[in-house]
Structure 1
Amino acid sequence: MSDASVTGDRFGPIDIYLLGLPGSDLDSATLSALVDLADTGLVKLLDLVLVTKAEDGNLTLVEVEELPDGFEIDIASLGATGLVGHDDISELAASIPAGTSALLVAFELVYQRELAARTARSGAVLLGYERIPAPIVNALVDTIAPNSKV
């Protein structure tokens, strides 16, 4: 029996990413990269929504179940379609430049489910959490140790 089943947790923490697309439409390379990453088991792809922002600022949403031909994804493999809601979309859509598209993707970082279950079982309580984006970490490490091969 896993620690997650002991605590009754079905999911660990969920990260939502807004991925700006290289063009104004969904491209197969981006969707393939997400599916390939999920296939590694490092993350679980829970939900995704294609958001297109017209020049006038109007949004068009395409739920994962409605992706156009050529962009099919195994819906049964997704963990929680519908998880990304209109509040998430409204908040994050401001970052999408007019005339472009983005994917709003919900991922569970699988190791975090185990971490949450084990710490909860030990009696520990999460008091804070902060993520430092990779570009910032890499720039900082380059500044501190420019020849580091970490």
Structure 2
Amino acid sequence: MSVDEFSEMGPVDYLILEFPGNRMTGEGLPLLLDLVDRHIIRVLDLSFVRKDEDGSVRALKLADMDGDGQLDLSVFEGASSGLLGDDDLAEAATVLEPGNSAGVIVYENLWAAPLATALRRSGARMVANGRIPAEDLLLTLEAAEARSAS
């Protein structure tokens, strides 16, 4: 990817999705495909990693996630921008419990690309970002409700 192409990109994020007991059902796959089809995100990298009970880590191949005999993730086969390397997968596996696997997705937020491009052209630069986990939001809302009920 060239510098010119990067200057037109939206923000890039990653997710590490843990699957307890290596149980990947593929239930979320249609929703991921919908985001791609609607040009909300672009998957730059998609890899899978497994942490065995002894703590050893290995990469997994794209596979039939729901057991119907079809390669569910074939649309993402070869999705590799080069941003995600073996060291990144090993680091991702450090957050996994032994006996579990994970999908690691690096994606561009296409919906934000025009805004990000305009801001970069105007000289603005991102100096911090973050994400608030849904669980934290729920806990905060529950605590606020409890305070208002007292």
* TM-score clears 0.5: yes
Q: TM-score normalised by the shorter chain: which range applies?
A: 0.7 to 0.9
Contact kept? 1:26, 1:50, Cα under 8 Å: no
Equivalent residue for 1:3?
none
Per-residue Cα deviation, 1:66-120 (whole angstroms, up to 9, x for no partner) = 4356233224895x44432122212221111111111111121223322221111
Equivalent residue for 1:31?
29
Contact kept? 2:9, 2:117, Cα under 8 Å: no
Number of residue equivalences: 138
Equivalent residue for 1:124?
124
Contact kept? 2:9, 2:116, Cα under 8 Å: no
Counterpart of 1:28, as a letter, is G
Whole-Å separation in 2 of the counterparts to 1:145 and 1:77: 47
Whole-Å separation in 1 of the counterparts to 2:78 and 2:86: 22
Q: TM-score, normalised by structure 2?
A: 0.74
Structure 2 unmatched runs, 5+: none
| Structure 1 stretches of 4+ moved >4 Å | none
Q: TM-score, normalised by structure 1?
A: 0.74
Per-residue Cα deviation, 1:20-41 (whole angstroms, up to 9, x for no partner) = 1254143221333322332232
The one of 58, 63, 67 aligned to 1:67: 63
* CA deviation after TM superposition for structure 1 residue 8, in Å: 5.9
Identity %: 29
Q: Compared with structure 1, are the counterparts of its residues 77 and 49 closer, same or farther at alpha carbon in structure 2 (3 Å cutoff)?
A: closer
Whole-Å separation in 1 of the counterparts to 2:15 and 2:6: 26
Whole-Å separation in 2 of the counterparts to 1:142 and 1:132: 15
